[in-house]
Amino acid sequence: MKFLDQCKVYIRSGNGGGGAVSFRREKYIEYGGPDGGDGGRGGDVWIEAVEGLNTLIDYRYQQHFKAETGIHGMGRNRHGAAGADVVLKVPVGTQVLEEDKETLIADMDEAGKRVLLAKGGNGGWGNDRFKGPINQAPKHANPGQEGEEKYVWLRLKLIADAGLVGLPNAGKSTFLAAASAARPKIADYPFTTLTPNLGMVDLSLGERFVLADIPGLIEGASEGMGLGTRFLGHVERTAVLLHLVDATQDDIVGAWTTVRGELEAYGEGLAERTELLALSKVDALDAETRAAKAAELEAATGVRPRLISGVSGEGVKDLLREAFALIRRDRGDAPAEDDDQDSPPDSGDGVWSPV
């Protein structure tokens, strides 16, 4: 499935139906009178967040959405039916912005959330509404009100608990594949990842979270270099960032500095987000080189980096559990009374036996 995370659409609610001008004319009925019915109201335009969608690709093929016009009123006091509504179904995490791409209309951050974008026009009154002791035969009715129309931007920000950031070929996709059932494209050339990927990390019963992998950042990304920072919006909602630095490259400090600079240039609080720093691809290094690389990065950042390998699995579980602890804290969840409650009971001599 192709990925699309922002698009511009035109919406228009329906006009109200016009009221009818009609008079009762029946044989043997002495007194007639006005009997024009009201017009129906125009349809509304709604937007709804639904589960099961992770892209806005449907809106590449249809960009215009118009609700139905209300049916006009008719004689014998028959009122027109209301026009049908239009519902735009979008993935959870979609933001609706005005045409200026800055003014937020709605943030569809929960499944089932429904927001009115354009209200349909009211139906016009028929001439039966205007009869009275003075004007007993009104010959006018109201037209229906005009609907609303405008352009809006839809921008998807994936709902993830943790996000992977780093330079291209930092091992993010390999890490995602090792940590979850996701199968992102993995290759030995830059920008293998062209669109964000999501994976469900399942550590144990009750320990689950969503991990997002976005295309790698390069120097000047905030100015449009490479793929730019257009995908950083997908990690804005995360509780923690996993910053992966390729341990096999020469300038590991420069790699860390480059990504941190782009996060700060992007803004939106990403630079202040909790960060777990890790040296990836350590399976390709000997023990002495590992220690030297870790010490060099720690001296520059003030943080002892974790050593991980998506290929061998080394350090992956420990990093994921550390991330989950931060996510749980961000959610406000109380720590479990017994973290080993899902572990099999111990007989006391180090050998498991049934109780």
CATH (domain of 103): 2.70.210.12
Q: Please tell me whether residues 52 and 198 are part of one structural domain.
A: no
User: Is 279:305 a contact under the CB 8 Å cutoff?
Assistant: yes
Q: Do both 175 and 124 map to the same domain? A: no
Residue type, 339: D
* pLDDT at residue 275 in the model: 92
Q: Which of 156, 173, 198 is the last residue of a domain?
A: 156
Tokens at residue 22, please? Answer: 């009609």
The CA distances from residue 325 to 84, 103, 239, in Å, are: 48, 35, 10
Judgement on whether residues 167 and 133 belong to the same structural domain of the protein: no
| pTM of the predicted model as reported, rounded to 2 decimal places | 0.78
3-state DSSP call for residue 114? strand
Q: In terms of domains, do 64 and 113 share one?
A: yes
Residue 240 lies in a domain: yes
Is 303 part of any domain? yes
- Please check whether residue 339 lies inside any domain of the structure: no
Residues 86, 172 share a domain: no
Q: Is residue 120 part of a domain?
A: yes
3-state SS, residue 132: coil
Please report, for the domain that includes residue 200, its CATH number. 3.40.50.300
DSSP letters spanning 115-169: EEEEPPPPPPPPGGGG--SS-SS----PPPPP--EEEEEEEE----SEEEE-STT
Q: Beta strand pairing status for 207-213 and 162-165?
A: parallel
- CB of 51 within 8 A of CB of 157? no
- The reply to whether 129 and 278 lie within a common domain is no
* Same domain membership, residue 198 and residue 128: no
Can you give the pLDDT of all 355 residues of the chain as single tens digits?
467 889 999 999 999 999 999 998 888 877 788 999 999 999 999 999 999 888 899 999 999 999 999 999 999 999 999 999 999 999 999 999 999 999 999 999 999 999 999 999 999 999 999 999 999 899 999 999 999 999 999 999 888 899 999 988 888 889 999 998 878 877 776 777 778 888 889 988 778 899 988 888 877 766 666 566 778 888 888 999 999 999 999 899 999 999 999 888 888 888 888 999 999 999 999 999 999 999 999 999 999 999 999 999 999 999 999 999 999 888 777 554 444 444 444 444 444 444 3
The count of domains in the chain is 2
14 and 143 within one domain? yes
Cβ atoms of 297 and 279 closer than 8 Å: yes
Q: Are residues 238 and 120 in the same domain?
A: no
Q: What is the pLDDT of residue 226?
A: 58
Q: Are residues 152 and 168 in the same domain?
A: no
> What is the domain range of residue 213?
162-331
Which residues, including other chains, have CB under 8 Å from residue 77's CB and lie 6 or more apart? 35, 36, 37, 126, 128
Strands 6-12 and 149-156: antiparallel
25 and 143 inside one domain: yes
- Burial (CB < 10 A; 0-12, 13-18, 19+), residue 260, is middle
Rounded CA separation 274/161 (Å): 12
Q: Within this chain, do residues 268 and 291 fall inside the same structural domain, yes or no?
A: yes
